[in-house]
Amino acid sequence: MPTKPSSHHADLLLELLELTSLGAMPAEQAARQLRRAHLYTRLARRAASGLEMLEAEGLVESTSDGDQVFYRTTPSGLATLERHGRFPGGAAVLFTDIVASTELIAEFGEDGAHERRQRHFSLLRAAVAAHCGREVKSLGDGLMVIFADPAAAAACAVAMQRSVAGDSDRLGLRIGLHAGELLREGNDFFGTTVIVARRLCEVAEAGQIVASDELLALNEDEPAAAQSIGAVALKGLDEPVCASELLWSPGGETAGRPARSRFLRRPTSIAMAW
């Protein structure tokens, strides 16, 4: 069984995964890229041995072109990056919110409202886990979740609405989705992508999923049924955002098939040791 890599070595392996997720490259090119930001000794040897280790674990794959060997991140390698909060090319962001949540307290009291919220969030978190999302934080009446796969984010939103619609409490749920580059600080994420996703959630009504057309354009292989709502003016943003409503039915398959996320396969050994 492989020895658990040191934090320093693990960081190097993650950086190699990031580099090879951007396109196939030989070990020498990866070493040159790393040298711009690091002063590792014997960097060429470290990069070559690191890529060989990642290939042995199934996190990168190699192809040959004459005497040159090129490495590219596999779906399992991308899954490892996602679990460490690294999203090459950006990520999808999902926000949820309970509509008219203050009325719960008036109707059921503090304890009753709390119990219903807990059941509600259990349903949402089950959908997140089933679609390989990562909960960033709870916002009182909603969740912020990120996905490396925008198709999985759309499918998760549909699964959330179906779960809530089938629950006896039937709390009104609205969801907003957007995809793009993220800024990270610790375990939290910031930037325009996050702002747009949250604002789209705010303009949605109970039972609605409002997604940016930018996110939907990334789902060409697994398109979801959607109806355009045009350019939407969002609070705090200078330009309107083109958006659509994802269509779904309580028990049907009209929108968002079960996610065939490329991240469902979980790597072993090195990835599990990190």
Encode pLDDT of 41-60 as tens digits: 677 888 889 999 999 999 99
User: Strand 68-73 and strand 241-246: pairing?
Assistant: unpaired
d(CA 213, CA 236): 19
Query: Considering the chain, what is the average pLDDT of its residues?
Result: 82
Residues 145 and 241 grouped into a single domain:
yes
What's the pLDDT score for residue 183?
A: 82
Q: 229 with 187, same domain?
A: yes
Judge whether 267 lies within some domain.
Answer: no
Q: Please answer whether residues 80 and 263 qualify as being in contact, where contact means their C-beta atoms are separated by less than 8 angstroms.
A: no
Could you tell me if 105 and 228 lie in one domain? yes
If asked whether residues 180 and 67 sit together in one domain, one would say no
Q: What is the pLDDT of residue 255?
A: 40
- One domain, residues 78 and 38: yes
Distance CA 118, CA 215 (A): 29
pLDDT beyond 50 at 1 = no
Report pLDDT for 37: 65
CATH number at residue 68: 1.10.10.10
Reduced to 3 states (helix: H, G, I; strand: E, B; else coil), residue 240 is coil
**Co-location of 69 and 98 in the same domain:** no
With respect to residue 185, please indicate whether it lies within any of the assigned structural domains. Answer: yes
For the chain, what is the radius of gyration of the CA atoms?
A: 21
- The mean pLDDT value for 7-12 works out to 73
Q: Does the structure show a pLDDT above 90 at 133?
A: no
Q: What is the CATH number of the domain that holds 160?
A: 3.30.70.1230
- Sequence-separated (6 or more) residues with CB below 8 Å from residue 179: 90, 91, 92, 93, 150, 153, 193, 212, 214, 215, 218
- In this structure, are 145 and 225 located in the same domain? yes
Same-domain status, 77 and 58:
yes
pLDDT digits (tens, 9 = 90+) for 139-189: 889 999 998 888 889 999 999 999 999 887 778 899 999 999 888 776 788
Residues 6+ away with beta carbon under 8 Å from 103? none
The two tokens of residue 73 are 């991140």
DSSP single-letter state for residue 236: T
120 in Cβ contact with 167 (< 8 Å): yes
Query: Which pLDDT band holds residue 253 (cuts at 50, 70, 90)?
Result: very low
Range of the domain at 213: 91-246
- Can you give the pLDDT at residue 22? 67
274 found inside a domain? no
Using one digit for the tens of pLDDT, what is the confidence trace for 65-124? 878 899 988 888 888 887 777 777 678 999 999 987 777 777 778 888 888 889 999 999
**Weakest-pLDDT range from 106-115, 207-216, 242-251, 256-265:** 256-265
Q: Is residue 184 part of a domain?
A: yes
Same domain, residue pair 176 and 226:
yes
pLDDT at residue 259 in the model: 34
Judge if 34 and 114 occupy the same domain. no
Q: Which two tokens stand for residue 18?
A: 């990031």
Residue type, 175: I
The answer to whether 260 touches 149, Cβ cutoff 8 Å, is: no
Residue 231 confidence (pLDDT) above 80:
yes
> pLDDT tens for residues 192-226?
999 999 999 999 999 999 999 999 998 766 667 89
Helix, coil or strand: residue 96: strand
